[in-house]
Structure formats: structure tokens, C-alpha cells
Amino acid sequence: MLAVIAVQGLPGLKVVGHIAVCGLLCVAVYSQLKNRLVRQRPYISWQHIRAHIAPLDVYSFPSGHTMNAVNFAVLFSIFVPALIWLVVPFAILVALSRVVLGMHYPTDVLVGALLGLCISLGSLALWPEGLFG
């Protein structure tokens, strides 16, 4: 985000502002859903699954990491198309890593990705030039 501001100046700051607001919306959505849907993480429910990292919270549904990664990938791809080669593979790797690390079920990741996609595309439908454009 800092590189976008450094390269684009004020227009980059507007892009980063839009992405940051959408990121905060993702955090609000997934934290509310996790606390209401209370789905245990795979490593808690299945003894043969080992957690390879410490979780940020107790519940797994939906994947907040995936939601934010997809949201950011879509928005960066639209506002800074030159970064698509970097942000899309990164979002895919984040999604896959959440399952591999024992933090999420595949459905947690799938729903997180769909919610991130909806938030990013919804923000662009409301503000095609960006929230601060």
C-alpha cells in the first residue's frame, strides 16, 4: 500500500483509502459471523489434524484471512492492474494455506473468498472510481 502511495501520490492515497475501508468492513463481517456461527476449527474437532500455527481466534467460519486476501486482490487488480500477477497468486496461496495449516475447512475458505469478492465488487458497484474518487 505504501508503494502505491509513493508511486501514484494523491490518487494512490485514494486507492489505499478505498482498500483500507473495504478491509475494515471485511474484519467487521467475519468477526460478527464467527461469533454467531461458532464453528470449531478443524484441529479442535479432529485429533489427527495438527495446528501448525496459533489461531487468532477460536472459531473457523468464515476464513477472515481468505476474505481479506480476495478483497485486496480484486481491488488491487482493478485499481493497480500491474499488480495482478502478484496479488492473485498471493490470495490463492493464502486460501490454500488456511486449510493446510489446519485452521479452516475448505468451506470456510470458500465462503470467505465469496464474501471478500462480494465486498470488493459491491464497493466498486457503489463507487466505481473508488470511495474517495
pLDDT of 2-13, one tens digit each?
Answer: 888 888 888 888
Residue 16 maps to a domain: yes
**Tens of pLDDT along 55-78?**
778 888 999 999 999 999 999 999
C-alpha cell at 1: 500500500
Q: Which residues contact 16 (CB under 8 A, 6 or more apart)?
A: 1, 4, 5
Q: Which three cell numbers stand for residue 77?
A: 487488480
Helix axes 64-79, 10-37, angle to 10 degrees: 160
Cβ neighbours of 93 (radius 10 Å)? 12
**Residue 133 within a domain:** no
Indicate whether 7 belongs to any domain: yes
Residue 14 counted as domain residue: yes
* 69 assigned to some structural domain: yes
- The overall pTM is greater than 0.85: yes
Structural domain range at position 20: 2-126
Q: What is the pLDDT of residue 6?
A: 85
